[in-house]
Amino acid sequence: MKFDYSFVDFDKTIFDCYKFEKDIWAVFERQGVKSKDYSATYKKSLCTVSPDLFDYNFQEHIKFLRELGYKLGKEVEIELESLLDKNNYLFPDTEEFLRFLRENTKKMVLLTAGDDEFQKIKIKKTKLGRWFDEVEIVLGHKEDFLADKIKPGDSVFFVNDSLRENLIIRDNFPEILIVTKLNSVRYTVDEAEKSGIPFFETLKEIKNYVAGLK
């Protein structure tokens, strides 16, 4: 199946955020940060503007911990930033999946929500930008971006881990192909099944599914 557009989410879809978050916690743990304080400030720093808008970055997380009395110097931020240089946070089948989409899509768009600078750093360090014609970073509400991009008659593929977002996209654009990469931390298989949206645990499974469509 060929597409005019393929929109690909970043975090938890092609980038393993949970592995990344585990390593972030390890950095703070070595600085003596307690687990409950880390969890509380991490959650607080995820959405500082609105519950639906993601804007996490290292600087803000460190700031919240300092407000609790932790003495965290510039070296902590440097160590956190170095994680992306020292580790590979892509899922094992990310490159294979993107190569497949590249071969079957006129225009590929990396559509991610989050803090602009933080997302740019992650994308640059993973070198994934080379697969995409456009990289779009939004705070949230991906359906608004799609409304400005998609034209009637376009063949469109959309892949994302957020079942909540996917249901909104489906309601607004029932004609496009949406596939959920199951995020088992946030959603159960039962919830995914009830959504009525095709879902799979791996990108390779999604690739095989799309390849079998006509």
Cβ(92)–Cβ(116) under 8 Å?
A: no
Give dist(CA 57, CA 70) in Å, integer: 18
pLDDT given for residue 51 in this prediction: 74
Q: What is the pLDDT of residue 139?
A: 76
| pLDDT of amino acid 183 | 95
Looking at residue 12, what DSSP letter applies?
Answer: T
Q: List the chain domain ranges.
A: 3-16+90-211, 17-86
Query: In the prediction, which pLDDT does 120 show?
Result: 95
Please tell me the predicted confidence (pLDDT) of residue 69: 97
One digit per residue, the tens of pLDDT, for the chain of length 214 reads 899 999 999 999 999 999 999 999 999 999 999 999 999 999 999 888 777 778 899 999 999 999 999 999 999 999 999 999 999 999 999 999 999 999 999 999 999 999 999 999 999 999 999 999 999 998 778 999 999 999 999 999 999 999 999 999 999 999 999 999 999 999 999 999 999 999 999 999 999 999 999 7
Q: Are 182 and 161 in contact (CB under 8 A)?
A: yes
Contact 150, 5 (CB under 8 A): yes
Q: What gap in Å lies between CA 65 and CA 67, rounded to an integer?
A: 5
For residue 107, the model assigns a pLDDT of: 97
Task: State the alpha helices, DSSP H only, in 49-173.
Answer: 58-67, 74-86, 94-103, 116-126, 142-149, 163-172
Which homologous superfamily does the CATH classification assign to the domain defined by 3-16+90-211? HAD superfamily/HAD-like (3.40.50.1000)
Q: Are the C-beta atoms of residues 140 and 164 closer than 8 Å to each other? A: no
